[in-house]
Amino acid sequence: MTIRGVLFDFSGTLLRIEPTVDWLREGLARVGVEVSGEELRRLAGELERVGALPGGSEPEEIPPELRELWEARDVDPSGHRRLYVTLARRVPLPGPPEVYDVLYDRHMEPDAWRPYPDTRQVLAALREREVPVAVVSNIGWDLRPLFREHGLLPLVDAFALSYEHGVKKPDPPLFALACEALGVAPQQALMVGDNARADGGATALGCAVHLVRHLPVTERPGDLLPVIDLVG
């Protein structure tokens, strides 16, 4: 099969959110709060346990009253905010009540995200070979400003974002929209992601799939590099 277009997942594939402890430190600083390193790590661990950081750890358990919000989080921007702010509020934090909204806003900022070491190299190689690229993401907010700030926007031809279309991975329509935007048949597309269930949904359309490991940026230097060879 000849690959004529590549679809990439966003979080955990091309970029990764900052560590929870850094996210919390920044949020507390913005409301004028400083805590000891030990306390910072303890609070960060609690926030990870409840899944308060979008793009970070999933909750150990989802409270029944939040189940509906959880299922719809990536197709409803207001629900996305409400869900994650509510999850974060399960952990008592020092400072004013608005600290939870400050933390949510922080996770959408470009410098809260770090590209994997091979992201730019692979996207640039695909551009050089004239292989179009789409980002296909379950997300509750617009990724384009983030890609622009990281200098990656010129290397992406299209975005298929769940909240804009009301459908999310692994449902085939989101992948189909991405292929259509690139002008390639699904059978000529490669989906690259870190989640076998969500990203593997592309196989229902006939797309090939390449999975990368969901690891911190510093621990995954080259999982994207095989994509260059897969496009021939």
How many DSSP H helices and E strands does the chain contain?
11, 7
Measured between alpha carbons, how far is 188 from 190 in angstroms, rounded to an integer?
7
Please report the pLDDT score of residue 175 as a whole number: 98
Exposed (0-12), middle (13-18) or buried (19+): which is 211, by Cβ within 10 Å? middle
Measured between alpha carbons, how far is 40 from 22 in angstroms, rounded to an integer?
9
The pLDDT confidence band at residue 33, using thresholds 50, 70 and 90, is very high
Superfamily of segment(s) 5-16+112-230: HAD superfamily/HAD-like (3.40.50.1000)
pTM of the full structure? 0.95
pLDDT tens-digit map of 147-199: 999 999 999 999 999 999 999 999 999 999 999 999 999 999 999 999 999 99
| 1 pLDDT above the threshold of 80 | no
Measured between alpha carbons, how far is 28 from 74 in angstroms, rounded to an integer?
26
User: Sign of dihedral through CA atoms 198, 201, 207, 212?
Assistant: positive
The pLDDT confidence band at residue 78, using thresholds 50, 70 and 90, is very high
Q: Describe the crossing of helices 37-50 and 77-88 by its angle, rounded to 10 degrees.
A: 130
Please report the pLDDT score of residue 225 as a whole number: 97
Beta-sheet strand order (sheet of 133-137): 158-161, 133-137, 5-8, 189-193, 208-211
Please report the pLDDT score of residue 196 as a whole number: 97
Domain borders along the chain are 5-16+112-230, 17-111
In terms of phi and psi (left: phi > 0; alpha: psi -120 to 50; beta: otherwise), the region of 183 is: left
Determine the 3-state secondary structure of 75 from DSSP: coil
DSSP strand pairing (113-115 vs 15-17):
antiparallel
Determine the 3-state secondary structure of 133 from DSSP: strand
Per-residue exposure over 117-130, b if at least 16 CB sit within 10 Å of its own CB, e if not? ebbbebbebbeeee
161, 143 in Cβ contact below 8 A?
Answer: yes
Please report the pLDDT score of residue 149 as a whole number: 98
